[in-house]
Amino acid sequence: MMLRTILFSALFLVAGTASAAPLKPQDIADLAKVSEYLNGITSLKSSFVQVGPNGELDQGILYARKPGRLRFEYAPPSPYLIVSDGVTIAVANNKLRTVDRYPLVDNPLNIILRENMDLSRDPRITAVDRQAGTLRVTATEKSGPLKGQVTLIFRYPSIEIAQWIITDAQGLQTIIALKGPQTELQLAPELFVLRDVDRFGRKDD
């Protein structure tokens, strides 16, 4: 479950279709604002806290750079490290000393690190809701091994990504909340390459 959750989180960030929900004029206007905000981000760094379906807690640091580059550094005792070089996603388990790789094709939700997006035309968007100072945008994948939903939560009416909620095919939810996200940073290219030091012992970048 843990591996599937973190992999789904990574695929959500870097890269399937669902029936589009009928969008109201306000939905279209808000999706345009979200698209403008996300299109304006070329790089991102943030601490994060992840709460799993059974209340399990993990945390770490997220690095991202368009197009498609990503690094999830989970803090100990989690053994996982996820690195996307824009072509493949590598999931390293430093406890088992293993690396699994997945292609960046046909992935469910290439929302944040995709370039020149227009969410109002994205068929995966199935709901837009406004709740107590937040805007919630839900995308759905109805088939395949990673079928489920991801709900992006933005601060509203000022648009800033705050967290997302992953709901898998069994209805189990995982919440990932960002803490102090920073954008438009110069991130070292080495962050997005899985090295031997990443596989067999963490290195602080």
Supply the pTM of this predicted model: 0.83
Domains and CATH numbers, the chain: 2-180 (2.50.20.10)
The string of DSSP letters for 10-28 reads HHHHH----PPPPPPHHHH
Query: Residue 81: phi, psi to the nearest 5?
Result: -140, 130
Which candidate, 49, 65, 38, places its Cα nearest to that of 161?
Answer: 38
The secondary structure of the chain in percent helix, strand, coil, rounded to multiples of 5, reads 20, 40, 40
Q: What is the pLDDT of residues 48-99, one digit of tens each?
A: 999 988 999 999 999 999 888 889 999 999 999 989 888 888 889 999 999 9
CA distance 10 to 6: 6
